[in-house]
Amino acid sequence: MADPSTAPPLTRVSVQAAHKLIEPYIHKTPVLTNATLNRLASTPRTEAELAGSEWAGRTPAKPVLRFWFKCENFQKIGAFKARGAFHAIERLKQEPGWAEGGGRERGVITHSSGNHAQALSLASRSSSIPCTIVMPTISSPAKIAATRSYGSEIIFSGPTSAEREAVTSSVIAQTGARLVPPYDHSDIILGQGTAALELQSQVPPTTTLHGIITPCGGGGLLSGTALACEGTGIRVFGAEPSFEGADDGRRGFAAGRRIESVKSLTIADGLRTVLGRIPWEIMYERRLVAGMYSVSEDEIKQAMRLVYERMKVVVEPSAVVGLAVALYNEEFRGMVEREGGVEGWDLGVVFSGGNVSLEMLGGLFA
């Protein structure tokens, strides 16, 4: 990883510079709309649908929503992670003395459940840099196979962040490889923010984008999105699964402090990671994220089914958590109703990835 002390400032201007640096290596992914999902989101939920939930007994919200889906499932390696990985590698190559001092031969290393693993593998292979990936044993077989296909060496670890980081540290001590973390570094965050930067230019000039919602695991995508929107008037929101405490960002916002550990087996496997320190500073301490919201496993599956059936688009569970919030979280929907009024909101929704196996889909929707 490029020396953190030489990292660009965490600003919208730096996101723009990151985009110029990685533009030759990434796809400018499409932005899609869907009238059916707009209609569903703009229809109040029934009292029966709210019964048994935390929203039971309250008047259903009546927001007006128009979605703009930024489809990072069509990005290289099938996820937004390619943006941060290519930016990290290109910045590392610019570091004075790195190649001459043997850095290229020692290579790079990371720990990841899948998408960042694939992204770094592709980015490093593109520059002929050796790459080692530490993956938890519970990673998706499809993601393991895809990572191997890019030529990286895979070392397995336990499922928690602490276990992954311990194995990674051991390998670094033995090989001298340079760590490229999955989210908690300026170069990664700035690279991820380029998706929101593109989205802003892809909506029609006559459309005012009121907000963007993204999934939040480690927080690289969400904090990068917040930087890309700073000073634009676009509000940024984070979406998380609630299962087994995976909504550490939401809970941290409520408590006023970062939650430092998470152990969840949510179906949104890309969001099982604890929120990173640098993303937390951007999101909470700089107040660049307006709110954090969570949804249940069933709501994630319902949103995923809608995307498959109505949009004919392949997404993984993590990718639809933002959409699920807009469809089912009454706190978020009530906020849009109050602030959007009869005109409503145009809301950007980032589909973070589409790396899901047919076997997993069969299990989810059996």
H/E segment holding residue 174: helix 161-175
Torsion of the alpha carbons at 105, 141, 161 and 72, rounded to the nearest 10: 80
Q: Highest mean pLDDT range out of 53-57, 98-102, 121-125?
A: 121-125
* Residue 15 included in any domain: no
Tell whether 262 is covered by a domain.
yes
Helix ranges (DSSP H) in 3-43: 12-22, 35-41
Same domain, 342 and 278: yes
pTM for the model stands at 0.94
Residue 81 falls in the annotated catalytic set: yes
- Of 14, 70, 76, 113, catalytic: 113
**pLDDT score at 101:** 77
User: How far from each other are the two terminal CA atoms of the chain, in whole angstroms?
Assistant: 43
| CB neighbour class for 106 (10 Å; exposed up to 12, middle 13-18, buried from 19) | middle
Tokens for 302? Answer: 């319902």
Report how far residue 210's alpha carbon sits from residue 347's, in angstroms, rounded to the nearest whole number: 6
Is residue 113 part of the annotated active site? The answer reads yes
Query: Both 177 and 86 in a single domain?
Result: yes
Q: Residue 161: phi, psi to the nearest 5?
A: -60, -40
Pair 249, 300 in one domain: yes
What is the token pair recorded at 108? 């790079």
16 contact partners, CB below 8 Å, separation of at least 6? 197
234 and 265, same domain (yes or no): yes
Work out the pLDDT band at 278, boundaries 50, 70, 90.
Answer: very high
- Asked, for residue 119, whether it belongs to a domain, the answer is yes
Q: Alpha-carbon distance 68 to 34, whole Å?
A: 8
Residues 65 and 209 grouped into a single domain: yes
10 in any annotated domain: no
20-24, 109-113, 176-180, 228-232, range with the lowest pLDDT:
109-113
Q: Please report the pLDDT score of residue 299 as a whole number.
A: 97
Residue ranges making up the domain that contains 357: 31-74+193-364
Q: Which position among 14, 81, 186, 294 bears the catalytic label?
A: 81
Looking up residue 89, the CATH number of its domain turns out to be 3.40.50.1100
DSSP, residue by residue, 175-225: H-PEE--SSSSHHHHHHHTHHHHHHHHHS-TT----EEEEE-SSSHHHHHH
Mark whether 140 and 214 lie in a shared domain: no
Residue with tokens 């290579």: 107
* 224 lies in the same domain as 313: yes
Q: CA torsion, points 285, 289, 293, 294, in degrees to nearest 10?
A: -80
DSSP-assigned beta bridge partners for residue 270 = none
Banded pLDDT at 254 (limits 50, 70, 90): very high
Report yes or no: 187 and 84 within 8 Å, Cβ to Cβ: yes
Q: Which one, of 260, 218, 273, 266, lies nearest residue 244 by Cα?
A: 266
pLDDT of residue 366: 83
* Section 242-266 average pLDDT: 95
User: Considering its fold, how many domains does the chain have in total?
Assistant: 2
Report which of residues 101 and 77 the model is more confident about. Answer: 77
pLDDT of residue 160: 75
Determine the average pLDDT of the residues in 57-83: 97
Q: Does one domain contain both 222 and 355? A: yes
Contacts of 42 (CB under 8 A, 6+ apart): 62, 63, 64, 65, 344
CB neighbour list of residue 8: distance below 8 Å, 6 or more residues apart: 14, 17, 18, 186, 190
pLDDT surpasses 80 at 114: no
Domain annotation covers residue 179:
yes
Same domain? 346 vs 269: yes
Q: What is the pLDDT of residues 158-207, one digit of tens each?
A: 877 788 889 999 999 999 999 999 899 999 999 999 999 999 999 999 99
Residue that finishes a domain, picked among 183, 209, 224:
183
- CB-based contacts of 217, cutoff 8 Å, min separation 6: 183, 240, 270, 271, 272, 273, 275, 318
Range of lowest pLDDT (101-105, 108-112, 123-127, 237-241): 101-105
Please identify, among 131, 149, 183, the residue that sits at the C-terminal boundary of a domain. 183
> Tokens 């929907």 correspond to what residue?
333
Residue 360 confidence (pLDDT):
85
pLDDT at 144: 87
pLDDT for residue 25: 97
Predicted pLDDT at 1: 55
Mean pLDDT in the chain? 94
Does the pLDDT value for residue 2 go beyond 70? no
At which of 130, 161, 183 does a domain end?
Answer: 183
Q: How many residues does the chain have?
A: 366
Question: Do residues 52 and 124 both lie within one domain?
Answer: no
- Mark whether 60 and 150 lie in a shared domain: no
DSSP-H helix ranges across 42-114: 47-50, 81-93, 103-106
Beta strands 178-179 and 108-111 are: parallel
Q: Give yes or no for residue 275 having a pLDDT over 90.
A: yes
112 or 316, higher pLDDT: 316
For residues 120 and 242, membership in a common domain is answered with no
The pLDDT value given to residue 5:
65
pLDDT for the residue 3? 60
Q: Does some domain include residue 12?
A: no
pLDDT the model gives residue 67:
98
Confidence grade of residue 279 (pLDDT, cut at 50, 70, 90): very high
CA dihedral 40, 45, 46, 52 (to 10 degrees): 130
Q: Is residue 171 part of a domain?
A: yes
Instruction: Report yes or no on 23 lying in a domain.
Output: no
What pLDDT score does 115 carry?
87
